[in-house]
Amino acid sequence: MEPTLKIGQRVLVDRIGNDFFAPSVGDIVVFHPPSGAGSEECGAVSRKAGQACTRPTRQESSENYIKRVVAGPGDTIAIVNGHVILNGKRQHEPFADFAGCQNNSDCNYPAPIKVPAGYYFMMGDNRDFSDDSRFWGPVPRAWIIGAAFFTYWPPDRIGFL
């Protein structure tokens, strides 16, 4: 999640609100990725060239990940040079780092996919180094722990996200 969060930075997560409100595009959330996320295992039966993973593996990992929601249920998403194209419109993402995305295949998934009902597409803000939904698919709502809303450590980075 660099540059938004630094390695070792600590955040507070709203677990109670997660029971009442669905995540929105732009939220930073903590969740369990699909098993196999560390090895970029996609659960989709078929995957077209230039297309992000459309389905995760069926098993939930016990690890905690933190990423930004870039698309929700029913949205269509494509990624070009690390930039999110959401429902046909390039998103304004001043928080993201695209420096390493020129001519990088990990940053280019121009073939649009539709996010299934009940799933969320997650991406890190450091687009050329993030292990995210591009590789292992959207995350089911049930695997989302809650929205990160405040950072408390280190002291010089205290504040709302």
The answer to whether 153 and 17 have CB atoms below 8 angstroms apart is no
CA distance 70 to 92: 11
Residue 152 within any structural domain of the chain: yes
Q: How many domains does the structure of the chain reveal?
A: 1
Q: Rounded to 5 degrees, what are φ and ψ at 2?
A: -65, 145
What pLDDT digit, counting tens, does each position of 67-78 carry? Answer: 999 999 999 999
Structural domain of 94: 10-160
Tell me, what's the pLDDT at 45?
76
Q: What is the CATH number of the domain that holds 35?
A: 2.10.109.10
Tell me, what's the pLDDT at 44?
81
89: CB partners within 8 A, 6+ apart: none
Start-to-end CA distance of the chain, whole Å, equals 12
CA distance 69 to 82: 14
Please report where in the chains the tokens 């990940």 appear, as a residue: 65
Residue 2 within any structural domain of the chain: no
Mean pLDDT by 10 residues, the chain (161 residues): 94 91 96 93 83 94 97 98 97 94 90 97 96 96 96 94 93
Q: Minimal CA–CA distance to 126: which of 82, 69, 81, 64?
A: 82
21: CB partners within 8 A, 6+ apart: none
Tell me, what's the pLDDT at 48?
81
CA distance 105 to 49: 11
Residue 5 within any structural domain of the chain: no
Can you list the alpha helix ranges (DSSP code H) found in the chain?
133-136
Residue 121 within any structural domain of the chain: yes
Residue 1 within any structural domain of the chain: no
What pLDDT digit, counting tens, does each position of 29-46 carry? Answer: 999 999 999 899 999 877
